[in-house]
Structure 1
Amino acid sequence: MRLNKRENNLYVGKLAMLLILSFLMGCSSTGNTKGIPSSYSSPEMKANEDSPMKISKLESITIPSKALDKDMRATIYLPPGYQSDQSYPVLYLLYGYGGNENSWFTYLHMGDAADRLIESNLIDSLIIVSPDYGNSFGVNSDPMDAPVPVGVDAGFYEDYLIHELVPYVDRTYSTMKDKQGRWIGGISMGGYAALMLGFTYPEMFSKIGAHSAALWTYNSTDQFTGQRDWLYANPALRELRDPFLLSRSNELNEMTIFLDAGVEDPLSEKDELLYQQLQEEGISAQWETSPGGHDFAYWSSRLDDYLLFYAELKM
């Protein structure tokens, strides 16, 4: 069959797109046995020109979870020159609603930012862990507690993240195993989850980053009220889950908290209110806002600031 020039160009374009999609799908699948890391160098990870063998790596791992009764995936960033005889701080990064364990690296290019700041001696070498946690908001939930909104995942995700994921990472990698070397952060839904988990387990984390965190104050500006009403279905659940209440009930004096949101983000008002409350309670917190909305463009523009908060090199 002979194709004219236009048809030939369309055919070549479609073929190229299919090849790209098949490559991306292959990268996203773990294809490894339970608990066995599958390591690869991401295209965004660049070798240091002076030390070409010192490159960072992303590892895709699968962890069998008893809490959730299924296998869970996570993506692990190992810094350039990672060595098993050296202990590294660990940053747990949680994605926003609809994301997955690769979102921080494929859409936001966090690994590329970490490489650049490590090579520039601006931050300490660190391990970054981005786990799959569905659209669960990181809480332990039972469908018997409240009807589950469409698109939300119910299950014992808090137990998985705290009691299974963190110990697994500490057993498998060369980590600093105290709270001073363990941090947690996230965007949107992940920002909420980071606050909820960090405030609930202050003995485990020394820093929390809540970036455009999904928060509610029960006024007319609340967004996604179906998710709010599921999370806070009754006063007892709200006591366990609402960062505004948790910050009053838990001891957070040894913790540092960083909140930020774009000027055009409807959630900015809520996040700043939490910052003000933390200030009133004498808890170490900082608030930043800059141009942008609730989107990848804003979060991508803030990656350096996020990493400097978590791991800035102390001179």
Structure 2
Amino acid sequence: MSSIDHDSIRNAAPLGFDQNREDIARGKIESIEYFSTTVGCKRKAMIYLPPGYSEDFSYNVLYLLHGIGGDEEEWYKHAGPQVILDNLYADRKLAPMIVVLPNGRAMANDRAVGDLFDSDKLKAFEDFESDLLQDLIPYIESNYSVQIGREKRALAGLSMGGGQSLNIGLANLDRFAWIGGFSSAPNTKEPELLVPNPEEASAKLSLLWLSCGVLDNLKHVSDRTHAYLERNNVPHIWYEESGDHDWPVWKNDLYHFSQLIFR
């Protein structure tokens, strides 16, 4: 794993990091549809294309997942990720990447309605692994100018999506080298199942990021994962930050995590 400047993430993102700035280049964020063989129908996602996106250049890809109460628009509606990323590009702090915002609930009616904890909805979050690997990633790689390979893909998410990112990413180290869990929820597998081979994980990971607000009542999930990784000498960033299970935490996580990947 490459060395990380831990001091760069000890402080909260600077004031204005999530505010529109005048006179900077802007990327585009738009909705897309792809056919999911996993679900058997078309599914929606959003995609962020950085300022100056060009088919003449090949980009890295970050797949960024939402929580149990959200869908492909959750990050867009609550965090304005395109604003955060545009500002970072203007300051020359990001490697070139596109960001894909999927719907992590892989079922025909994938809206966040009714009892979000129904067994079929929870299973749909598990089924998303197949949708991501077999359907969405091939769609993105066929329709956008992106680089192919594990070192060119990152997977991160918040809460339920944080658990998904750890579960899927660490089980598919041949697909992802950069993995982040923000305030990961109890869907996160037990550490011994997440990382059954610490030596292999240590050798293959370029970055494993765990973060959580100190007031979060789900922090025990991240605590146990961090403790296992530390005990087994798996390099990772453990970032305890002020805040609860909420958007100020996750926007701060995106600000820091996005600057570390694809380096």
DSSP 3-state at the match of 2:93: coil
In structure 2, the partner of 1:130 is 101
Q: Please say if 1:49 is aligned against 2:23.
A: yes
Cα distance in 1 for partners of 2:82, 2:19 equals 7
Query: Residue 69 of structure 1 aligns with which residue?
Result: 40
In the aligned structure 2, how far is the partner of 1:122 from the partner of 1:193?
27
- Aligned equivalents of 2:106, 2:91: Cα separation in 1: 36
2:122 partner SS: coil
Contact 2:211 2:253 in 1 (8 A): no
Partner of 2:139 in structure 1? 168
Unaligned regions of 5+ residues in structure 2, if any? Answer: 1-17, 108-116
**Partner SS, residue 204 of structure 2:** coil
Aligned to 1:152: 122
Identify if the C-alpha distance between structure 1 residues 45 and 296 changes in structure 2 by more than 3 Å, giving closer, same or farther.
closer
1:268 aligns to 2:239 (yes or no): no
Counterpart of 2:65 (choices 87, 91, 94) is 94
Number of the residue aligned with 2:156 = 185
Contact 1:196/1:242 (<8 A) preserved: no
**1:283 lines up with 2:234 in the alignment:** yes
Q: By how many angstroms is 1:79 displaced?
A: 0.1
Q: How high is the TM-score relative to the length of structure 2?
A: 0.80
- Structure 2 contact 104–161 (Cα < 8 Å) conserved: no
The aligned runs of 1:197-212 (5 Å cut-off) are 197-212=168-183
Residue 309 (str. 1) matches residue 260 (str. 2) = yes
The one-letter amino acid paired with 1:127 is: I
- Aligned equivalent of 2:7: none
Q: Which moved further from structure 2: 162-171 or 127-136?
A: 127-136
Question: Which has more radius of gyration?
Answer: 1
Which amino acid counterpart does residue 309 of structure 1 have in structure 2?
A: L
For residues 171-192 of structure 1, give each alpha carbon's deviation from its aligned partner in whole angstroms, at most 9, with x where no partner exists.
Answer: 1111110111100000000000
**Preserved CA contact (<8 Å) 1:80 1:115:** yes
Paired residues of 1:108 and 1:300 also in contact (CA < 8 A): yes
What does residue 193 of structure 2 align with?
245
Q: Secondary structure at the match of 1:129?
A: strand
- TM-score normalised by structure 1 residue count: 0.68
Q: Report the Cα offset of residue 151 of structure 1.
A: 5.0
Q: Distance in 2 between matches of 1:152 and 1:269?
A: 21
Q: Against the structure 1 CA distance between its residues 46 and 170, is the aligned structure 2 distance closer, same or farther, given a 3 Å change threshold?
A: farther
Cα contact 2:214–2:240 (8 A) shared by 1: yes
Equivalent residue for 1:26? none
- Superposed displacement of residue 110, structure 1: 1.1
Number of residue pairs the alignment of both structures matches:
233
**1:185-242 deviation per Cα after TM superposition (whole angstroms, max 9, x unaligned):** 0000000000011111101111101000013xxxxxxxxxxxx6xx9xxxxxxxxx54
CA RMSD of aligned residues (A): 2.5
- 2-structure distance, mates of 1:269, 1:105: 28
Contact 1:292 / 1:298 at 8 angstroms: preserved in 2? yes
Measured after TM superposition, the shift of residue 124 of structure 1 is 1.5
- Cα drift, residue 49 of structure 1: 2.4
Identical aligned pairs, as a percentage?
A: 29
Conserved 8 A contact 1:74-1:131: yes
2:81 matched to 1:110?
Answer: yes
Q: Separation in 2 of the partners of 1:135 and 1:212?
A: 21
Distance in 2 between residues matched to 1:68 and 1:77, nearest whole Å: 24
Q: Could you tell me which of 297, 310, 313 is aligned with 2:248?
A: 297
Structure 1: runs of 5+ lacking an equivalent? 1-43, 137-146, 216-227, 232-240
**Deviation, structure 1 residue 46:** 6.3
CA distance in 2, matches of 1:257, 1:278: 10
Residues 131-169 of structure 1: per-residue CA shift (max 9 Å, x gap): 112278xxxxxxxxxx95375353732211111111111
- The separation in 1 between residues aligned to 2:134 and 2:238, in whole angstroms, is 30
